[in-house]
Structures are given as structure tokens and as C-alpha cells.
Structure 1
């Protein structure tokens, strides 16, 4: 069943602190564009509530009892259409990388300003990926998988996927992986922003990825960025 275009964004709040959830609920209650449809105090409950309430966006804490936010995110993104917006602390490198692997659509620091939080939830629901420059830089600097292993490198599987991309799409993928916005990529490649958007969408479709965040992860994990750097 399709959702009316003017319907509020359905949000599931996941945090093991009752006061934190109460604060988020109060914040969102004054914005008619948002509707809190449920809460969860741990990862296991989050998976259950995501299935029960079918939220558009899950605002997910990371450190929680029973099941952490990373494992919960992996289960939710694998079984529902909900997009997950993670709440994390600055410099939490291992968790950030693991969240990328789990399918998170974005990251916010826990000290984010209230108005920024509201806009971030709306942007996530609209299909945008909130990959902060700090997160992109982390992926670039570490260049490793979430489990600490070396990048998987070019394998027959991801080679076949990459072979589907045109030369221009490869250029766009490289710039996305460097954390550049569509406007910035347009300036670098001397094309229109709409053209860049089309190429990004094509890359997502051909590589069977969900969003811009996963494009960044794929570019580094697959070894594509190593070959791109080598020319």
C-alpha cells in the first residue's frame, strides 16, 4: 500500500535510555511532518517493532543491551524497507565502519542540534544518505573492512559488477567515494548536477546497492579505489 505524499514520516525511536527517547518524542511531536510510531529499548525489541510498525526511519542507538544497534540495523535493513539513522559518538571508528556494513543510511552525533536532527530524519526518509565528511574520511583513511581485515580486493564477483559501469559512471563512483556532493562532482567532471544524479542512480542500480553510503563502502572494499588510484 502506497503512502500519501503528504503523510508524516513514521519514526521508530531506539535507545536504552528512557529519557533520551522521551526527549526525541517531545521534539518530533511539535513537527507535523513527523510521527513517532513506536519505541524500543534494545536491539531485539527494535527488530520486533520495525516489523510490527513498518516505520520509514529508525533512529538507532548503537550501544544497547541484548542486541546492539549494529546487529539490529543489519536485521532491519535486511527484512524491511525502513531506513536506519544511527546515533553515535564522535571518533567511534569501529562502530561507524560496522554500521556502514550493516546498511545504515546515515550517522548523527549525539550532540546534534535538535533542528538538525529533525532535518536529518526527513532527509533520510526522502532517500538521502547522511554520510558526514568525518565518516567518509574515516573510510578513506582506514581503507579496511569493519572486521579489521584488508579490503577484499577485486574478485570475480565485484569485477563483474564493476564491468557493468561505463567509464563516466566509474568516474562518478570515484568522486562519490571521496565524499563529494553531486554539485561538487559536477564541477570536477564539467557536467550538470542532474547528469551526476543520473549516473549515481545508475551505479546504485547496476551494483545493486541501496544508497550512497553503500557506494562508498563498495568502492573501498572491492578494491576499486586502489585501481582508480593506480590510474
Structure 2
């Protein structure tokens, strides 16, 4: 959440993404009466969403799953992830991440995504969580419950409507035994989104190397190291180098 208090309450800046204008208006009205929530923008298509998120840099994006031009996964891929060829996505949010200083700290944190959909299908839930969303709630949720879910994902929690979390747990539980038996790592969407070079930079950052030392070790420029580090911060949704180091250590990537 933003650190700017309003009446002693931190304000969470929210961006709405849904192709139905009437629904967006309803959500905006519901959240307008909730303490500590401010709707700062909205979009009705993937292109509008990517541009708006990059421009506004909200704390939380409420994201529809199904839209005519690609839906929630397309927004997540454009803002947080890589395209199928492995090239990093470009957006306003990515540009903000590229302003990281030499310590690896970005001046604009990456937005957190919360899916808000009429669908409660397992494949939809799993797809957006793998894409980088922090939670998934259905459109039957009340205004107060939605505001609470927004605050919780902004604070780092994972939030799901009843029974939806089970889809995610079941999906990863089914995948894990076969991978472990073959001695392979369990699927991790955030790790998988990193390119081989980004993983190299991540490991060296986690080991305490400076940008200059990493550049010398990998025979690349310091500017290129900064770009890779910014991409890693964006894709892993970490706010600074210290948090990124802990994240890497928890996945044995250091």
C-alpha cells in the first residue's frame, strides 16, 4: 500500500480491469465507501489495462479473467511476465522497474493482481495464479469482502473465494510427486518466467555481488546488469534487493 496516510489510514490505490463498463461502475461505487481504498483508474481491454497500469502504478489491480482480446492472463503476461519466446515484456511498469538504483531497489513497486471473475472453473484459477496473480475471488463477493481482499493482497497475503484455493493446491500437489521422483524441481511459475541470463544475475545478486562485479563476471555492461535485475524484481514481485535475496534463498537459487 501507499505510505501516504489519510486520516491515519493508509490508502490502497486500486485499478479496475473489466470489459463491462456497468460492472466497473458498480465495483467503483462499492469500493468508494470503503475505508482506505481509492480507485485510481480503470480499463476495458488488455491494451488499455497494460497502458493504464504502467501509467498509474496502482497498488492492486482487480483483474477480470475473460475479455474478448485475451483476458487476465494476457494482462499478467504483458505486465509481469515474458512472452512465449522468453523475451521480457515491455510496459510502463517494466519501465518503472528499470529505474532501479545500484542497490537493486526500485522506486516504483510492482502492482499486485487480484482476479475478480464470474468464473469459478479450476483451469481459470490455475491459469491466472500461474500468471502471477496473488488471489482469485468471484463476482458474488460483497463490497466489504472485496475491500478486505484488496487490502490483504496489498499486504502480501494470498486470497481466494471459498474452495478456489483447493484448485491451486491440488494442481501443484498432482504435479509435485512425478517431478520429485525424477529428481526435477517442482514447477514454480515465477522461477520459470526468468530467462537463463536473469537467473545468472539473480544468483550473483543473492550472493552479494555488486552490479559492477556481476558485469565483469558475465562480460556484460553494468547497464545490462541493471536491466536484468529490474526484470527479475518485476517478475518475482519483490520490492528490493534484500527481499529478492530472501526469495532466491527460499528456492535454493543462491
TM over 0.5: yes
Within 2, Cα distance between the matches of 1:96 and 1:122?
Answer: 20
Within 2, Cα distance between the matches of 1:138 and 1:124?
Answer: 19
* SS at 2:123 equivalent: helix
Normalised by the size of structure 1, how large is the TM-score? 0.61
5 Å-filtered alignment, 1:2-41, equals: 3-4=3-4, 6-41=9-44
Aligned-pair distance for 1:125? 1.2
Q: Specify which of 61, 72, 95 is matched with residue 69 of structure 1.
A: 72
Residue 136 of structure 2 corresponds to residue 107 of structure 1:
yes
Equivalent residues, number: 164
* SS at 1:128 equivalent: coil
Which consecutive unaligned segments of at least 5 residues does structure 2 have? 82-93, 95-108, 189-244
CA contact (8 A) 2:65 2:116 kept: yes
CA contact (8 A) 1:93 1:138 kept: yes
The runs of at least 4 aligned residues of structure 1 exceeding 2 Å deviation read: 2-7, 74-80, 88-91, 139-145, 154-159, 202-209
Within 2, Cα distance between the matches of 1:20 and 1:91?
Answer: 18
CA contact (8 A) 1:84 1:105 kept: yes
1 or 2 for the larger relative contact order (CA 8 Å, sep ≥6)?
2
Normalised by the size of structure 2, how large is the TM-score? 0.56
CA contact (8 A) 2:60 2:111 kept: yes
Within 1, Cα distance between the matches of 2:184 and 2:54?
Answer: 32
Any idea what the Cα deviations from partners look like across 1:161-184, whole Å, max 9, x if unmatched? 9xxxxxxxxxxxxxxxxxxxxxxx
The CA RMSD over aligned residues, in Å, is 3.2
Residue 115 of structure 2 corresponds to residue 86 of structure 1:
yes
CA contact (8 A) 1:77 1:84 kept: no
